[in-house]
A and B are shown apart, each in its own frame.
Chain A
Amino acid sequence: MLLTTKLHQPASLTKSVKRSQLLQRLNAGLESGHQIFLVSAPAGFGKTTCITEWLHTLEMPFAWLSLDPADDDPGRFFTYCIAALQNIDRRIGREIEGILRAGQLPPEEIISTTLINDILKIDGRFLLVLDDLQMIQDAFILAVLEKLIANPPEALCLVLSTREDPSLPLARLRARNQLTEIRSGDLHLTRLETEQFLIDVLGLVLSQEEMSVLEKKTEGWAAGLHLAGLSLRDRSSPSEFIARLSGSQRFILSYLTEEVLNRQPEDVRGFLLETSILDKLSADLCNAVTGQNNSDSMLERLFRGNLFLISLDEEGCWYRYHHLFADLLRDMQYRQNKEVVVELHQRAAHWYAQNEMVNEAVQHALAGSDYETAIHLIETHAMDLLMQWHVKTVEGWMQAVPAEWIAQSPKANLVFAWLSIIRGNPVSAFPYLERLKSLSQDFEENPALYARWLVLQSMLLSAEGKAAESLVLLRQALEVVSQADMLTTSQIYLGMANAYQQLNDYPRALEAFQRIMQHSRQSGDSVSEMLGIAGMALFAIEQGELHFAFEIISAGIERMEKLDVMPPVSMALYGEMGVIHYQWHQLDQAHENFQRAIKVSKLSGYADAELYYGVILSRLFQIAGNLDGAIREVQKTVDLMYVETPSVVGEEIIAQQVCVSLAQDRLAAAEATLKSRGVHFGQQFSFPEFKENITRPMGLLYVSALRILLYRATSRGELETLQQGIELAGRLIDDALRHRYILLTLELLLLRAQSFAVLGDERASRNDYLQAIGLGEPEGFISVFVEAGPSTVEALSGLLEQFDRESVEAEYIQRILEAFPVNDRPAARTKPEADSVKESLVVPLSERELEILQLIGEGLSNQEITERLFITLHTVKKHSSNIYTKLGVSSRTQAVARARQLGLL
């Protein structure tokens, strides 16, 4: 739950001193284009007052974020920071917000880049005030702020209010005169401002001499002057009192606070001291803490009396004391009524717990040494918060609870075990799980806890590659878990699906995914439902059931977009949707979905998914006739590939590297790529031994090897090894068909068909093509034929004669032929090449259209083009439409192919 008071600039006094000089300096900074404003001074110097006064004089929109210690947690900080920025424009941080809501923390460079790009879309400047920035010391948060400061988007002016200079590269900005700075020396009230404050704001009547002495004694320090003014109210001999003031600021402050308190009626003094333990005050909360029922009027009275009470919202519901005043009140309360403080905190903890403000409840329970309540709250809420990536907050609680209390709580140990796993250190989870087990000797009495313990143990086993052992525990967990425990049940099914996948037991994995979908739909657990859909759809695609996969993914995406969350699993949904469109040769839709999948992968920090969809994007460019784009995309994935890249991703990259190398006639490079996987060419063709139950990664390796053999046969006449390849392909096809891996079967059939043709066995070649047509037609596979290259055009054109023109097969073949790049199509191949090169446009493209066409050719989405050229989406679409019309095409891929044909790219 977001506390909206944090997003509201505080309001303290009804009247305040006009700090004209400071406002002039701040305004001068704005006028000279400064984007960073630092207001750095200790407490009580009037930083917040100065900034709020400045904001009121500006016509610029602004966003405010009041920071507190709990915000030093990246998940919480960015949730609030984005909420503040969305007060300027709802579009800012929408994607990050979705990811954060789904319990993930995007990498720092993604957060900074996305925020910068989002703010770049904003017209007009605005201010973002981060108040009390000294609360933020987390390196992750500071790294993002550092990037924002290094590359501030034009619209953003960042105002940093802090008691100490933040660990940010401000020296650089200062040296370049890009920083406006207000420091404690600047915040001192001048003689004139002191007079205005004492007379106009506090309503005192003092002589010039008295004011002069007071200014000297308080050194123009706003908090000291304020307290002195309150102490002087209704005093008969102000001169005497002023003369007594001496010592350091801290001493004066303590002295004056006591003076102010002693001058208050008993009920006010009691209220101030008792409520000083609260960081925020509302009437209801104060009633709960003080046991009174008149807090509403009391708060109003304090506010009107200028007693350091600051309003945190427009409705007057929430207040806080000035930090410095609150510190001193707490000191006094602790000295005078130490034993009462504990009870006050306990009352506050219960109020916050009842009002579901968990962090505040835990903090007060801890401050009140009420560990029973603290542990109860942690047991109840910690897991949910961990799933929302508020890891640091939970860690902070756990560290604050004495070890003996943690040691007695099974659930607290469960939380610690999860923390270890989330922090990427699963080994350190074992002691907690052991303790959990020893504390719960009789798990039968607490089956829910037992189920969670089993799930965690199974996860650790699975991480060690012990899928079978993991499954045993998950089955036990399934027997004991309550259906009401939705999170654990989803985790069990997910664990089972993963384990079955590791064991290559696809039917059971599929069943587990179905269970996830059923269960999570009933329980309303949308993220698990998406995981189930993604897993199931992936199977369906591998099994060639494109329409079924399309249906379930479409429904999944629609539900996800309605829910307004963007869990990392959404990248799988978009990516799989892209694969389906790709196979149907709907390249624009495929491209759009891949771009979205890659974007979510980046936002979520999932490098593997980014690589996977990046490599399919390269395939897309290649079949669209854009070899440069294909080379660029595959090279990006090669550059990002790392030693432990999973084979399901790594083999896709290698396979595409081979394709691209062969398309460039770089046989040696293609062979070198496969050499790292144990495939050797030359006199002898050798390859890793083929075992039954082929997997997609292994299949891709063999497909790539066969592709090289075919190339060697056609370019060098090496037919012997091709024969060897055909034999291997036969065994692979049988195995793939047995498992109904339709896509892999089609890839192998088409390669074998081409190989037979090279060896002169036209009949066998024709049979393979016919089988491929029969397998591909029901679900509409197109692109796999295009990937097979131009020789397929001739073969399929030959097959056309065999079918009735109105037949399903003929219509299907015709669609495949039309999908080939223009130059590869039968009509184009018969047309004299010179004609096509000389062909020119009736209406030439404008310079802007050419520029946009160039970017389309580079694979940029419309959104990316808007960001590159600083134009609106509408303008890009308009230009694109004109380009299509002038080129006589209907899609961007066709446009690129046509532009290449015309030599425009």
Chain B
Amino acid sequence: MSDTRLYLVQIAGHVSAETINASSPIKMVVTPKDGTTQCIVRTDQSGLIGLLRYLHTRNLVFLSISSNLEQSGESHVP
């Protein structure tokens, strides 16, 4: 619960990094991918919950949330 992890949050549509990070509680690495936006963030569970609520209140649609990026070997580290 208190460990920090690398989370990948996938959002429907394209959102710019400036827009999404302008007033976010935690900075995300934002990249567009196939009509979606991938947000990568390293945080703990309190940070993740706060971030999801922040995105939700901006009417963004979540497509997936995953946290096994490091094991999968993908290079996402901000």
Query: A interface vs B, CB < 8 Å?
Result: 40-42, 45, 137, 139, 146, 162-172, 174-175, 183-185, 187-188, 219, 249
Contact = CB atoms under 8 A, between A and B. Distances in A.
Nearest to A163: B46
B30 to A, nearest CB: 12
B16 interface: no
Contact of B2 (A166, A169, A174, A184): A184
Nearest to A175: B27
Q: Which 3 A-B pairs have the closest CB atoms?
A: A165-B50, A184-B2, A169-B23
Contacts of B21: 171
A132 to B, nearest CB: 13
Contacts of A188: 2
Interface residues of B, number: 22
A663 B6 CA distance: 67
A171 B53 contact: no
B45 interface: yes
A175 B49 CA distance: 20
B46 A171 contact: no
B1 A42 contact: yes
A151 to B, nearest CB: 14
A792 to B, nearest CB: 57
B7 to A, nearest CB: 13
Given A41-B46, A165-B46, A169-B23, 6 more contacts: A45-B2, A165-B49, A170-B24, A171-B25, A175-B27, A249-B1
Contact of A171 (B1, B2, B26, B49): B26
A170 B46 CA distance: 14
Nearest to B43: A165
B26 A170 contact: yes
A45 B46 CA distance: 12
Given A40-B50, A137-B53, A167 B44 contact: no
Nearest to B47: A165
Contacts of B45: 42, 184
Contacts of A183: 2, 44, 46-47
A172 B20 CA distance: 12
B23 to A, nearest CB: 4
Contacts of B47: 40, 164-165, 183
Contacts of A163: 46, 49
Contacts of A166: 25, 50
B3 interface: yes
A40 B4 contact: no
Given A41-B2, A45-B2, A169-B22, A174 B27 contact: yes
B66 interface: no
Contact of A169 (B24, B44, B49, B50): B24
B54 interface: yes
B2 A170 contact: no
B38 to A, nearest CB: 17
Contacts of B22: 169
B64 interface: no
Nearest to A143: B23
A186 to B, nearest CB: 9
B53 A184 contact: no
Given A169-B24, A183-B46, A164 B53 contact: yes
Interface in B17-72: 21-27, 43-47, 49-51, 53-54, 57
Nearest to A149: B23
Given A139-B57, A164-B50, A185-B3, A171 B27 contact: yes
A146 B25 CA distance: 11
A171 B50 contact: no
Nearest to A47: B46
A323 to B, nearest CB: 14
B2 A40 contact: no
28 contacts: A40-B50, A41-B46, A42-B46, A146-B23, A162-B46, A162-B50, A163-B49, A164-B50, A164-B53, A165-B43, A165-B51, A166-B25, A166-B50, A167-B25, A167-B54, A168-B23, A169-B23, A171-B21, A171-B25, A171-B27, A172-B23, A174-B27, A175-B27, A183-B2, A183-B44, A184-B46, A185-B3, A249-B1
A532 B51 CA distance: 51
A167 B25 CA distance: 6
B15 to A, nearest CB: 15
A528 to B, nearest CB: 39
A41 B49 CA distance: 11
A91 B51 CA distance: 36
Contact of A167 (B1, B46, B57): B57
Contacts of B27: 171, 174-175
Contacts of B24: 169-171
A147 to B, nearest CB: 11
A684 B1 CA distance: 82
Nearest to B49: A164
Contact of A185 (B4, B49, B50): B4
A426 B46 CA distance: 41
B57 to A, nearest CB: 6
A45 B50 CA distance: 17
A380 B1 CA distance: 45
Instruction: Give the most central of A164, A175, A184, A188: most B CB within 10 Å.
Output: A164
A804 B50 CA distance: 82
Contacts of A45: 2
A185 B2 contact: yes
Contacts of B57: 137, 139, 167
Nearest to A250: B1
A168 B44 contact: no
A394 B50 CA distance: 27
A415 B68 CA distance: 51
A174 B50 CA distance: 15
Given A42-B45, A164-B49, A170 B25 contact: yes
Nearest to B25: A165
A489 B48 CA distance: 54
Contacts of B25: 165-171
A166 B27 CA distance: 13
